[in-house]
Amino acid sequence: MKLTCCLTASLLLLWTTPLTVTAAGVIPTPHWGSWETRTITYHYAGSSPYYRKVWQNAARQWNQTGTVRLKRVKTARQAHVVVRINTRQTGYTGLTHSRYHAQRPMHKIVGAKASLNHKVLAKHRYTQKQRTNVAAHEFGHVLGLSHSKCKKSVMHATNRHAVVNRQDRLAIKRAYRKRK
């Protein structure tokens, strides 16, 4: 029997792989799990063309790594991941919930939901590019990455200006090296 668990973005800070420095002197972004496949489907559960584009551009950042492919599908039933916009006034800009089978050394991710908080993003005047970076950060959690200590990483907890960088590409390659 496999244990299915749920992990939120806030808990990812507590559960990370040990940081190791590569031969090039780069500290990769930590990862905790991966999907069984390198092609992960997502569905945007909203009606805003603006935010649809934000999520598409965020997926493109990860697709350009050449390691994974985030593919948009028309219905939630077809999707591994559902992405949306949240309009509740809370403190976070984005949030991800992942379901996974607990395994060692890497957990197998089986489902996820990610959201962007429109009210917080609007209140702090995030540009479309900055919102895309926050969506890319949430997709990083969807893919099994944790928060990075590198301030230039899209996975840094507080950086709205960063895009997927070298540390993130190394982490995604490490997390998906045994996946087809």
Which residues are registered as beta bridge partners of 94?
A: 116
Cα(84)–Cα(171) distance, integer angstroms: 25
DSSP string, 141-167: HHTTB--BS-TTSTTBTT-SS--S-HH
Burial 119-130 (b: 16+ CB within 10 A, else e): ebbeeeebeeeb
Q: What is the mean pLDDT of the chain?
A: 87
The C-alpha angle 148, 38, 145, rounded to 5 degrees, equals: 15
On the question of pLDDT at 90 being above 60, the answer is yes
Q: Which of the four pLDDT bands, split at 50, 70 and 90, describes residue 25?
A: low
For 112-128, the pLDDT digits (tens) are 999 999 999 999 999 99
pLDDT for the residue numbered 104: 85
Cα(91)–Cα(109) distance, integer angstroms: 26
pLDDT for the residue numbered 126: 97
Weakest mean pLDDT among 8-17, 100-109, 139-148, 170-179 = 8-17
Give the number of other CB atoms < 10 A from CB of residue 66.
Answer: 11
3-state helix, strand, coil in the chain (%, to 5): 30, 25, 45
Contact status, residue 71 vs residue 39, Cβ threshold 8 Å = yes
